[in-house]
Structure 1
Amino acid sequence: MDQGKARTPVKSILFRAATGLLLAGVAHLAGAAQITSYDMARPDGARHYLLATPDQPAPGRHPLVILLHGHVGSAAQVLGRERIASPLSMWLHIADREQLLVLAPDGLLGSDGKTGWNDCRSDAVSNPHVDDVGFINALIDKAVAEHHADPARVYVMGMSNGGIMAFRLATESPARLAAFATVGASMAAKSSCAAPTMPVSALIVAGTADPIVPYAGGDIRFAMLRQRGSVVPVEEAAAGWRQLARLPAAGETLEFPHRDVADVTRATRITWGADPRKLQVALIRVDKGGHTEPSKVKRLKWMYRMMLGPQNGDVEIAEEAWSFFRDKQAGLKP
């Protein structure tokens, strides 16, 4: 396939209750970005990605947000083009409103036959052995050269395996990123990568009752999937990025207002660094939360909550991430 060859453009479809196998109670939200499908030739073979652009793009450079799906996920799922959709698809509405580019690449198949990312876990034996850092850097270059992305305002957000991949990108390509965010993820405990040496603003979101990626660290487990590697405690990962940014140990704590008495979870944000235009590290701890993205709008059905744990409904995580990203640019110093 030719590098950057576009497939057929499609208009992103907003979910309705009748079409949602996974999500319930999704309201119609006006304004969504235009999605185009692309292929890129890489040394590892053809790679696929989706690019969402504002419906009526303004002239000039646009911030770029890269979304990384989890293990067994896809770019289409992250952007809401499959029935098992992600709350991260709320980025489509943010893209149209805020004049963003939103790029969602597909991971490759690992030895377990499932899609994923090569994310530094040396003990995750089924991860694909490909140059995903090089692939994503090539996507950034292409977005800057051909789609008017602002090279100083590139952000990455990943869920689960995609979140661990976001940690790798921040470690190995820190100068390319203005900030990154992870959900349901931590850093590799047994890592094939060097430790980070340059600070990057980080938003880390995790549930204390995550049944797959343990908040307190340890082995990753899900159903019959084994040998998925291990991670350090989430708070240890946050502390490492805070220390690298030379931020004080005391952070500012905010408890999000609780919206639903039936929601057993509670969300608390701790932010280190007072100025959103400078380096910051933030941890959103979801007490009793599972392996799910918090969302007020895109609610998981009970069968998935049974498998993945409770979903917090006090935070719209894409909006929270954009609020964290908005004022940050690449190259911030401690």
Structure 2
Amino acid sequence: MIKLAILLTALCGAAQAATITSAEMPRPEGPRHYLMATPVQAATGKRPLVIVLHGHTGSANLVFGKERLNDPMQQWLEIADREQLLVIAPDGMKGSDGKRGWNDCRSDASTNPKSDDVSLIGALIDKAVAENNADPDRVYVIGMSNGGIMTFRLGVELAPRLAAIATIAALAPARSLCPAPTHPLPLLMVHGTADKIVPYAGGEVGHIMLKGRGTTLGAEQTLALWRKPLHLPDAATKEEDLPHQRESGDTSVRHVVWGQDQLEFYKVERGGHSEPSIHHRMGWIAGALLGAQNADFELAEEAWRFFRDKRRQ
């Protein structure tokens, strides 16, 4: 049931705008809330659909900049209007710690909710295709942290319905309730080598204030896991360092590509648990808690560049 619709003028001084609709979908576990951004311009054909999954303790409001104005994911609002996309940001369910999150396959993440989030995302795709003219061949999912690990799960269980996925500060579960990926689904992955929450080398997730968050494989193991169904060799096709920006401080980015942009990895040297962004900078408190934020590229823009020409196989 639709609760409200507002016209949000674009961020960072741009003249663009996107209409944000707040809605709920009935599910077996109870009503599930989500926000949907649609371009102001009327659709002339089917539109690509991007689903954005927030991290543990996050929300759809945060993704769209309604809780924290500098969240990098809100760049999707500008992209939605410019590129004529539909963008959906659902809310996760609350787990045993009282925080919103996703049931992402980590068998040892005791505070994860028990909700059927795979079915939720499938239902959101169905609704967008039936009612909002979404293109079923151009459905993409991007997730941050817990939302990124949930994205990996969707890349296994909803793979035939997706064209590509992207993850930030997320790694494959070490103790997984889900099978390994088998569908050749393109993946863009971003991870910082100094991530304080999801360590680059793998191991226990969380910090002194976050317990019961399970364990993950390391970044290199995760990439190897996803190279297999894509039939990609261990050796990369291309590697390059991105131009360094002063705002990036001590961080830097190595861009690694396998195949014909089927698998891409942005290795953020000395980067923390955050989305790289040029325009949406975190405050010093967030930096102290999560580690350094890189500014050598705009995460959402690079994700859309990776997504835009891909179609489901």
The residue that corresponds to 2:254 in the other structure is 268
* 2:303 partner amino acid: A
Q: 8 Å contact 2:138–2:310 — kept in the other structure?
A: yes
1:12–1:235 Cα change, 3 Å: farther
The CA distance in 2 between the partners of 1:6 and 1:254, in whole Å, is 46
Local SS of the residue matching 2:4:
coil
Structure-1 residue corresponding to 2:146: 161
Which residue in 2 is equivalent to 1:19?
Answer: none
Q: Would you say 1:7 and 2:3 are equivalent positions?
A: yes
Gaps of at least 5 residues in structure 2 are none
CA distance in 1, matches of 2:17, 2:213: 35
Number of equivalent positions: 312
Identical aligned residues as a percent: 54
Distance 1:291 1:155 in 2: 22
TM-score w.r.t. the length of structure 1 is 0.91
Corresponding residue SS for 1:43: coil
Structure 2 contact 188–306 (Cα < 8 Å) conserved: yes
Alignment of 1:184-195 (within 5 A): 184-195=169-180
Matches within 5 A, 1:178-189: 178-189=163-174
Structure 2 CA distance, aligned partners of 1:189 and 1:112? 21
List structure 1 segments (4+ residues) > 3 angstroms apart after TM superposition. Answer: none
Does the 8 Å contact 2:185/2:230 carry over to 1? Answer: yes
Instruction: Return the TM-score normalized by structure 2.
Output: 0.97
- Cα deviations across residues 177-216 of structure 1 (Å, max 9, x unaligned)? 1000000000110111112121210001000000000000
Candidates 34, 52, 66, aligned match of 1:49 = 34
SS class of match (1:8)? strand
Deviation at 1:262, TM superposition (A): 6.0
Q: Is the 8 A contact 2:248 2:293 kept in 1?
A: no
Q: For 1:292 and 1:313, how far apart are their aligned partners in 2?
A: 11
Establish whether residue 259 from structure 1 lines up as the match of residue 230 from structure 2: no
Q: Which residue of 2 aligns with 1:36?
A: 21
Q: Equivalent of 2:160, from 171, 175, 195? A: 175
Asked if structure 2 preserves the Cα contact closer than 8 Å seen for 1:118 and 1:128, the reply is yes
Is the CA contact (8 Å cut-off) linking 1:57 and 1:99 kept in structure 2?
Answer: no
**Aligned mates of 2:149, 2:271 — CA distance in 1:** 18
Gaps of 5+ in 1: 16-26
The two structures, once aligned, show a CA RMSD in angstroms of 1.2
Corresponding residue of 1:289: 271
Label 1:317 to 1:69 Cα distance change in 2 as closer, same or farther (>3 A): same
What's the counterpart of residue 65 of structure 2? 80
Q: Secondary structure at the match of 1:134?
A: helix
Query: Which deviations, in whole Å up to 9, do the C-alpha atoms of 1:239-290 show, x marking residues without a partner?
Result: 111121002322211211011176110011101112x5xxx01111000000
